[in-house]
Amino acid sequence: MSTASLTIDLDALTTNWRMLDSVSSDRVETGAAVKANGYGLGLGPVAKALVSAGVRRFFVAVAEEGAELRRAIGPDPEISVFSGHMQGDTDLLAQHGLTPMINSADQLVRQFETLPGQPFGVQLDSGMNRLGMEPAEWDSLRDITMSQEPTLLMSHLACADEPGHPMNYRQLQTFRGMTDGLPVRRSLAATGGILLGPEYHFDVTRPGVGLYGGMPFEEARPVVQIDLPIIQTREVDTGEAAGYGNTWTATRPSIIATLAAGYADGIHRLLGPKTKLYAGEVACPIVGRISMDLITADITDLDGYVPDSLSLLNSAQTVDILADNADTIGYEILTSLGQRYARRYGALT
């Protein structure tokens, strides 16, 4: 094939969910965040696999994602929408049985006026200063909100991937101060929060990146493999260059492979200088600049063997290694994956 292949191991995904679910007590419900097209891996297949594993509560970013998810998984699981009840969302929320996580007084009024009696949750700002009601606003609206019986109160941790960061405990205390004693389920922990310990779990957890094989869940099984087909190979003499800008020059007689993928496929240009491609266990460094559709790699150390493809993302070079090489995070690597990949759902090789 002339396009790169993206293999997604749904069994590994559900195994990761079960492991994160086991961290909490039996009284805690473990949901799943599947926003951004299931973190780039395909919303429908990802969500259906998680439903089969036991997930009954999903979280998405916007109502349009929620509508797509509802079509994929049917009427029963709860789908919470982080952006709340935006202007123009009313019909989508009603038609697809979505639960908006209300973020402001304006959204609260919109919910009560247009969808009275329909399920909703509330997002509270415990210190991240991003989404949700701040403590003073919540104090003024708490009684009227609780009279309408919200299904969930939630907040989000800013520094959960840094276990020793003082912000974690500060937010925990703020969230408790805003919600203790209220007769409603609570949620504070995504993947990082789950790993901080039981006091962060409350009633519902909502793992995201850990399901897909990313840090800070160190025990996660790899979920994704990317294999890039070799289009052409050539011999390059000492002193010759490869790629745009002559940024790499051969220091020995080399065999250079040109592969069918590039930054249009979400393979960031910054990956080039530090990243390798793999033929089995043999690492072949990327040489020259990553361009829109092509990557060049030095396969000299394969001693004349030319495979059909080289692997970019695998058990040896994880999503977080790639993220470090590009000075970013695993979330961005996954959600940047382009549309040209030949996607396959099955076991990784």
Active-site positions read 35, 244
Q: Using CA atoms, how far apart are residues 122 and 104, in angstroms rounded to an integer?
A: 9
Whether residue 284 contacts residue 299, with contact meaning beta carbons closer than 8 Å, is answered with yes
Give the tokens for residue 317: 């070079």
147-170 burial, b for 16+ CB within 10 Å, e for fewer? Answer: eeebbbbbbbbbbbbeeeeeebee
Q: Which of 322, 210, 330 is nearest to 267 (CA)?
A: 322
Residue 222: DSSP 8-state: P
Question: Would you call 8 helix, strand, or coil by DSSP?
Answer: strand
> Which has the closest alpha carbon to 333: 217, 224, 258, 260?
224
Burial zone of 184 (CB within 10 Å; 0-12 exposed, 13-18 middle, 19+ buried): middle
Q: Closest Cα to residue 275, out of 253, 251, 259, 264?
A: 259
Question: Which secondary structure element, helix H or strand E, spans residue 235, and what is its range?
Answer: strand 224-236
**Is-contact 260 315, C-beta < 8 A?**
no
Question: Distance between alpha carbon 78 and the CA centroid of its chain, in Å?
Answer: 19
Cis peptide before 163 (omega within 30 of 0): no
Q: Which amino acid, residue 70?
A: R
Q: In terms of C-beta density within 10 A (0-12 exposed, 13-18 middle, 19 or more buried), how is residue 237 classed?
A: exposed
8 Å CB contact between 278 and 240: no
In whole angstroms, give the CA distance from residue 42 to residue 318: 19
Residue 184 near residue 153, CB atoms below 8 Å: yes
In this structure, how many other beta carbons lie within 10 angstroms of the beta carbon of residue 304? 7
